[in-house]
Chain A
């Protein structure tokens, strides 16, 4: 809060300069990134303010999503082979990232689509932002763990695996609380809509597949028609 206020002060002090505007935006971004630490430690308060008090920024959310994908890839590539058996020779970094980012977006979309019908307060932007902020513990714990895994032997692996599961449980809890606060739901309703979201995501994927297969059929139809005409004309 203080950072934003000070940014406003700066703005008032220097008037309307372009660099000043940029500086203010940058300060706001930094403040919102730093705010994630408050969110993950005080989720009930944090998520409410994140959305309703405009404490979060989309830029920060994008950053967290990107860092999450990066962490995931780095984990596959750099974790000591004692703890992970990823076939490094077959890994495609972009494929790996897309296989996480796409379901993430689809799930956010499904959640938004379902909750708007049942008086969820969150807009898509809010949901996306909250979900990205919920990924922060994953980044904060797993990124250092990559380094730590290279300092441990397999026998000392319990330390590693405990932290690993802590990060996942923490993220799951944040997702839950985040959705609850964003939509202003009770816990029961949130659980129900988590399930509904998964179903919705399946429907979206089904529709996408149908759409693309129909599209390719339609294209094939027009292409073959064109060929037929060209053939007849000749």
Chain B
């Protein structure tokens, strides 16, 4: 009887405790997942000198997520966005390649509100006026629209009133394999109106057209990547039949391209062996000059390859980062979009990783099928082709300060830049770039010892060497008297000792000799 009562009491207490715990958890989880500007620390990260993962304040936060609902697609044409493939931004207008519906959406941005400006379904004046599976869209400064019209095997150019101007079709040239279909997937247009295209199954590089529509060759062919072991195995140990069955050593096509404001083409590549990545033979991001040569600057310890640590395995979200798209801001910061883990990687013009963030999933700021990225000023737009949505990110105070500090430095305002870097350090004390910035500023004020400390924290050997050289020069000049004195002592003392020993010996010998005599 007594026992039963006690048990009841215990159960009661247990219930109360559980309720309290439950309420507490509810309270805690109801706090928004993305907390105050720039101070959540599980989403954004960087890699330190030892290639270890370092948490960092958020550099970007989600402004809004645009999809068919927010755009009111139900009222217009009653067709939801379906498998969009590409984004393009020009003068505040956003162009979305709505591949599944064979149309291009033109969106307008007013503050944080996005609305449809027009839906481009067809043009006038062409023999084929509609699109078939358009994969990419590009707009030149005059407003002419270029569409990679994959299904119709052409790149079509029209003016801003959708009047057809010309088609870029399969080059009737011996260098282009005439047996292949012409399947343009990604296009860029430079300031002179030249069109560069990545075509499916074409591995000679980018197909280049002059402004008048004539084909003028390939540029930037990807080199063949093959390991020594593979080569020896295939060349010497396989039978003819095996060799015929196994794949050939052919270069791969680029995954995506972007043209920066200086007319250099950034290309990403997702076919490589993992082993080549860290030795920088894979070059997943390239910056091609007009000759097709890679001129990307890599001044950091590790090349820009996205994640440095990953779990091995064959599933979707394991293995190295695979960049499906890239965009370059006006401050030469480039942002690459990783398909493997749905992440964005920002690098500055020197190839130093500024931040990385993003994840896979269905919540705000996560992607399931990230496929295209664009920028509007500092803001980033990421297109998800499985969610049929565009996520819009804007900089937090932290991200903005980093950009402003490096821009101030580049424009020669060193003291202002140092102040900004100090602010960055207040938000993230694990940021090597900020230490480097502080070091540079200290060096300009002839505070060499201080500069050395900062450069050491930033693991910047080159700048440390410079600061140290000046520090050493100063030190020697200040202490020259002591140094000479020390040298003199070192030279004179042994001499004196030797002399006195010799003297003693002579005296001893002399005495002995006189005794003998």
Contacts and interface: CB of A to CB of B under 8 A. Distances in A.
Interface of A: 81-82, 85, 87, 151, 153-155
B464 A82 contact: yes
B459 A153 contact: no
Given A151-B472, A154-B461, A154-B464, 13 more contacts: A81-B459, A81-B461, A81-B464, A82-B464, A82-B465, A87-B50, A153-B465, A153-B466, A153-B468, A153-B469, A154-B462, A154-B465, A155-B465
B456 interface: yes
List of 3 A-B pairs having minimum Cβ-Cβ separation, nearest first: A153-B465, A154-B465, A82-B461
Interface of B: 49-50, 456, 459, 461-462, 464-466, 468-469, 472
Contacts of B456: 81
Greatest chain B CB density within 10 A among A82, A85, A87, A151 is at A82
A82 B459 CA distance: 8
Contacts of B469: 153
A87 B464 CA distance: 18
Contacts of A82: 461, 464-465
Contacts of B464: 81-82, 153-154
A151 B50 CA distance: 25
B119 to A, nearest CB: 56
Greatest chain B CB density within 10 A among A85, A151, A153 is at A153
A69 to B, nearest CB: 24
A171 B461 CA distance: 30
A153 B460 CA distance: 12
15 contacts: A81-B456, A81-B461, A82-B461, A82-B465, A85-B49, A87-B50, A151-B472, A153-B465, A153-B466, A153-B468, A154-B461, A154-B462, A154-B464, A154-B465, A155-B465
A32 to B, nearest CB: 25
A55 to B, nearest CB: 26
Contacts of B466: 153
Contacts of A153: 464-466, 468-469, 472
Contacts of A155: 465
Contacts of A81: 456, 459, 461, 464
A87 B462 CA distance: 19
A85 B472 CA distance: 22
B107 to A, nearest CB: 48
A89 to B, nearest CB: 8
Nearest to A157: B465
Nearest to B471: A153
Q: Is the interface of A mostly helix, strand, loop or mixed?
A: loop
Contacts of B465: 82, 153-155
A154 B465 CA distance: 6
Greatest chain B CB density within 10 A among A81, A87, A151 is at A81
Greatest chain A CB density within 10 A among B456, B461, B462, B469 is at B461
Nearest to A153: B465
A81 B460 CA distance: 9
Nearest to B466: A153
B373 to A, nearest CB: 34
A154 B350 CA distance: 20
Contacts of A154: 461-462, 464-465
Contacts of B50: 87
A47 to B, nearest CB: 30
B466 to A, nearest CB: 8
A142 to B, nearest CB: 20
Contacts of A85: 49
Nearest to B468: A153
A153 B462 CA distance: 9
A17 to B, nearest CB: 29
Nearest to B465: A153
Contacts of B462: 154
A125 to B, nearest CB: 38
A141 B372 CA distance: 57
A187 to B, nearest CB: 35
A178 to B, nearest CB: 32
Nearest to A83: B461
A82 B462 CA distance: 8
Nearest to A81: B456
A154 to B, nearest CB: 4
A89 B62 CA distance: 36
A132 B417 CA distance: 55
Contacts of B49: 85
A82 B472 CA distance: 15
A9 B49 CA distance: 62
A36 to B, nearest CB: 22
Contacts of B461: 81-82, 154
Nearest to A90: B50
Contacts of A87: 50
Nearest to B470: A153
A81 B455 CA distance: 11
A85 B50 CA distance: 9
Nearest to B459: A81
A81 B453 CA distance: 11
Nearest to B464: A82
Nearest to B469: A153
A153 B471 CA distance: 11
A105 to B, nearest CB: 31
A81 B457 CA distance: 10
A87 B469 CA distance: 25
B483 to A, nearest CB: 12
B207 to A, nearest CB: 44
A154 B460 CA distance: 11
Contacts of A151: 472
Nearest to A89: B50
A87 B468 CA distance: 22
A84 to B, nearest CB: 11
A151 B462 CA distance: 15
A234 to B, nearest CB: 28
Nearest to A87: B50
A71 B200 CA distance: 59
A186 B262 CA distance: 69
B69 to A, nearest CB: 50
